[in-house]
Amino acid sequence: MVQVYKGKVITLNNPKTVGVQLTNQRLHPKYHKALKIVKKIQVHYEGFSLNLNDQVIIKASRPYSATKRFKVVSVINEEEK
């Protein structure tokens, strides 16, 4: 099964590389408090015009470098949000 995630673009420093922030909420096992879990990953992209704070859909793929294991599948438009 392919891993597919939705995240927010936070960095556009390098060509063909974008930083994406994934957020998730989980309950603490003992205290049942909602914990916000934030993960930042490097993602490969080509052929998309991306801006900061864009919502993107990413999926797992072959390793592009030492830190990039995902690629951008699509950009979620403002109308779809």
pLDDT-wise least confident of 5-14, 29-38, 42-51, 71-80? 71-80
pLDDT digits (tens, 9 = 90+) for 32-70: 999 999 999 999 999 889 999 999 999 999 999 999 999
Residue 78 scores a pLDDT above 70: no
Residue 79 scores a pLDDT above 70: no
18-30: buried (b, 16+ CB within 10 Å) or exposed (e) per residue?
bbbeeeeeeeeee
Q: What angle do CA 33, 38, 40 make, to 5 degrees?
A: 170
Residue 81 scores a pLDDT above 70: no
- Averaged confidence pLDDT in the chain: 93
Amino acid at 49: S
Kindly list the domain boundaries of the chain, sorted by start residue.
4-80
- C-alpha distances in angstroms, 80 versus 40, 44, 55, 56, 62? 23, 23, 10, 12, 29
CATH of domain 4-80: 2.40.50.140
